[in-house]
Chain A
Amino acid sequence: MLVAKQPYLCQRCHVTSRHPPTIYDGYLLKNSQNANRIYGRSCVVCHQMVHGSNSPNGKAFLR
């Protein structure tokens, strides 16, 4: 799991509506604000509310 690259690691499970199953390809990387899910920290740049919160919340994309 640790050697798989994001966002494709995340997409192995997060096959949901809207942005998770978006095809993160070279076009988005160059042309869309969705590029922020491909470069840098990828998905987790937004998902800190899930992955970094000390709230008992955590199973949804919430605080």
Chain B
Amino acid sequence: MRNRVVTVTAALLLASAIHAKAQTKPAEATSGNAPWGVTGMADVGVRVTDANGDEARFERYRDLRSGLFTNCVFGKQTDGYLLDVTAKNIGYRDQQYAVDYQNSKFRFSFLYDSIPLNYCYNCLTPWREASANSWVLDDAVQNQVQKSRYPAPVTPLPPGFVAIPTNYLQNQLTSVYRAQAQTFEMQSRRDTTGVKFGYDMTNDVALSVDFTSTKKSGYQPFGMSHAFSNANELPVQLDNRTNDFGAAVEWVRPQGMFRAAFERSMFSNQFNDVLWDNPLNLTDYNNGLQPPSGPYDANGYSNGNGAARGRISSFPDNSMTVVSFMGLYKFNRTTTLNGTVQVSDQSNDDDLIPWTSNAQINQPSVWALFPHLAALPRPTAEAKVRGVNALVNFTSRPVRWMGVNAKYRHNTHSNISRPFPYDENVRFDAVSEETPGEFAEGHSVIRDTFDASVSFSPLAYSTLRVGYLYDNYDRTGRTHNDMRDQGMRLTWDTVGTAWLSVRVGYEYIDRTGFGFSEQAVEDAAAQPGLRFYDEADRERNRFNAMVTLTPFQTMDFTASVTYTDDHYGGPGMEFGLFDVTNTAYNVGVNYTPSDHVAMGVNYGRDDFSTYQRARNANPPPDPSWTDPNRDWTLDNDEKVNNVDVYVDLLNMFKNTGIRFAYNYSDSDNAFVLGGPRTVTLFNTIDANGFRTFEQLPDVTNDWQQFMIDLKYSFNAKVGFAIGYFYEKLSISDFATINLPGTDQPRIDYLGGLTTGYGNRPYNGSTFAARLLYTFLAPVTSIARRAGRSTGAAGPFFVRGTGFRGLAESGAGPPRI
């Protein structure tokens, strides 16, 4: 009973990784061969990695540097306690250590987990980090650029050079900042340290306390801009931490349970803002005039005549407190009621950054015209949200052939922050402007969801379910005040027979928006016929089917298909997203002719298709605003193929295990623009003789991975292993800009100075030779495909060990 109740608890609450680990690990320890004893494996060796191209993408979430390979799992089980200790990738950026201990009264878990995120090893930037997150350019080059722009008489840049190219001819030149750029490795890392204690005060009452601290450090690419023509990307430094504390008391009886919990989450960021130099200005732009004609340039947001240094805000410090209560009552063997109530408080009171970093705007002569810019309305965010969540589940099976399940969920997200007025504003630290009556206010949501289903079992092994869904949103700040989903679903499951499994389902959901305000759309300067797809009227049709056939004990076939179509509409809808269709097919076969051989192959095909419409127009009263000849459309179609093949040979040759796997994925993502506006542009020739419309090339990629792992056991305890995996990505993406004829980043492309971060091809391989020491007694039978992940295959295939896990921890097939 206790285990079953704990399972329900885990399903109802969002458990952290360490919680989940603490709950599952003791069960693993009990699955060994001997009821008591030592289990596990030490897998230690040497690794050699070689990679070419975009090496950071090859590694992505892992650290494959040549050196030591470690993957050790140790478990001990006595009649008094269970102990599991894990150490992986010792000394590397993806190292992990875990300890789980449990006796009859006390439970303890510890986890340290480090995960890198490798962006690029060949990015470049002309900015230098003078101090933490204060980025500077070479003053001499900035001055040279500024003198080439103003004041008159200007001094042109040397022939062949430009600051930031803004047209076709300039784009053939080289930026003066290209020579300033230095290559650097951009990577960040998440380090999670957590502990959890559990204590059974009595047979019925348990306490638990946990603390997890997650630090993020390193650098990530970040977009920031001085003007529409002067977009910049820098490697922003990260140094932030989230501390999560939780405490709970749980009372469990055979008839039910009750749990009360307290959680507190705190996020703190060492950086309140980021400062960076303007590539076009050494000093704040000053045309020598008085407001409103100066000293700033009214077009500075577009042409870059703005501040010498820009400033953007970084992620704000914030916190959340949650108090929750959960209960479960079992009326009888077939009827259960459980529920949860959570009350939460979220707060952000971080310092706000000033209106601007531009000294030419931060002065009395400008404040005389823009008095609201003299000071912020308040110095800190003063943002607060109160929340209430409630969930009730009722499950009953009053008769053998019928069951009922009903669920109600309520969520109140009440934003009680005071509105923040901005009657005046500064764009891009370049231009002060009037924005009368504008203010920002937090949005609130009240959501109620009811979901009920009835299941019938008219035939052996088969269940028919009929379900109903009601989901209502009441909210502020959107064009529709209210939105309601109503739907039904029908499923048929035939499972449990020895040779056949069938699952078929159909779902229809109709979404209707209420309280539409065309004024709200027009206030945002949008076309009145626009509907936002997350609140527009929508019809969803979803179908899925899966059949598994097992004609022989040694072979199974699986085929599945899923289809989802979302159609958006509603009165007056002219623009926005109209259709999204996803279709996925999979077929696979597994064959296990003997205890020593297992193999299988799977093929999958995914099709994604969307259709959207927009109008390229100037604001009213310009006639283009209502001109249907300015309409354009986009068909976005992506096709993806996946193939996975594996062969396992375990003890087919004496004391030898061989595993082979090959995975392949390709994608073709098309962006087909259409509509009358594209025709007009296609028929227009520019000054350089080019048609002013051109379809974008498809974004394509082709990813494959090959892995082989061979293990040989000298005796029941000691073995030797060699593993090799190879991974290759070919990719073509119009959003990644390279120097002509190379795969090297170009940082000075049209309208920007970037780090060059993008999607580039790579190939890489890793070889490892390892010594294995196992604590388990040999097991000769091979696991079927479904059992492979449990690691129950034999002495050298212990859970969590081996070379396969290394290959699987990469980025996988990319989605662009």
Contact = CB atoms under 8 A, between A and B. Distances in A.
Contacts of A11: 612, 614, 634
Contact of B422 (A33, A45, A62): A62
A54 B692 CA distance: 39
The interface centre, meaning the residue of B526, B669, B690, B816 with most chain A CB atoms within 10 A of its CB, is B526
Contacts of A3: 608, 815
A26 B691 CA distance: 10
Interface residues of B, number: 98
Given A15-B614, A62-B435, A25 B695 contact: yes
Given A21-B617, A32-B750, A46-B231, 5 more contacts: A8-B612, A17-B618, A30-B171, A40-B737, A40-B758
B758 A45 contact: no
A56 B481 CA distance: 21
B383 A56 contact: yes
A28 to B, nearest CB: 9
Interface in A11-34: 11-19, 21-23, 25-27, 29-34
Nearest to A27: B694
Contacts of A46: 223, 225, 228, 231
A36 B226 CA distance: 13
Contacts of A12: 533, 576-577, 612
Interface in B703-746: 734-737
B737 A39 contact: yes
B525 A16 contact: yes
A38 B734 contact: yes
B697 A26 contact: yes
B473 interface: no
Contact of B223 (A22, A44, A54): A44
B805 interface: no
B168 interface: yes
Contacts of B260: none
B688 interface: yes
B530 interface: yes
A58 B695 CA distance: 33
A15 B576 contact: yes
Interface string B221-234: 11111001101110
B693 A23 contact: yes
A9 B618 CA distance: 21
A41 B221 contact: yes
Contacts of B233: 40-41, 45
B350 interface: yes
Contact of A57 (B420, B688, B694): B420
A63 B793 CA distance: 58
Nearest to A62: B425
B422 A5 contact: no
Given A54-B350, A63-B353, A17 B312 contact: no
Interface in B367-383: 381-383
Interface of A: 3-6, 8, 11-19, 21-23, 25-27, 29-36, 38-42, 44-49, 52-63
Nearest to A23: B632
Contacts of A61: 427
Nearest to B691: A27
A50 to B, nearest CB: 11
B259 interface: no
B19 to A, nearest CB: 26
B616 interface: yes
5 contacts: A13-B576, A39-B737, A40-B737, A54-B314, A56-B381
B335 interface: no
Interface string B417-453: 1011010011110000001001011100000000000
A31 B686 contact: yes
B60 interface: no
A34 B313 CA distance: 25
A52 B614 CA distance: 27
Nearest to A13: B532
Nearest to A5: B816
Contacts of A27: 681, 690-694
Contact of B224 (A17, A42, A48): A48
B649 interface: no
A38 B695 CA distance: 13
Interface stretch (B50-58, B390-398, B671-679): B671-679
A36 B167 CA distance: 12
B99 to A, nearest CB: 35
Given A40-B752, A45-B225, A29 B533 contact: no
Contact of B751 (A13, A18, A34, A60): A34
Contact of A26 (B422, B576, B625, B695): B695
B581 interface: no
Given A35-B749, A62-B422, A4 B610 contact: yes
Contacts of B671: 5, 8
Contacts of B610: 4
Interface string B154-184: 0000000000011110010000000000000
B135 interface: no
B417 A56 contact: yes
B665 to A, nearest CB: 14
B496 interface: no
A55 B315 CA distance: 10
A33 B62 CA distance: 37
Given A27-B681, A40-B752, A16 B527 contact: yes
Which 7 pairs, one residue from A and one from B, show the smallest C-beta to C-beta distance? A45-B223, A26-B694, A36-B751, A54-B316, A33-B751, A35-B750, A56-B420
B628 interface: no
Given A39-B734, A45-B233, A33 B750 contact: yes
B355 interface: yes
A18 to B, nearest CB: 7
Contacts of B750: 29-36
Contacts of B420: 55-57
Contacts of B316: 54
B422 A23 contact: no
Contacts of B440: 55-60
A27 B524 CA distance: 28
Given A21-B614, A23-B632, A36 B575 contact: no
B511 interface: no
Contact of B533 (A13, A16, A26, A36): A13
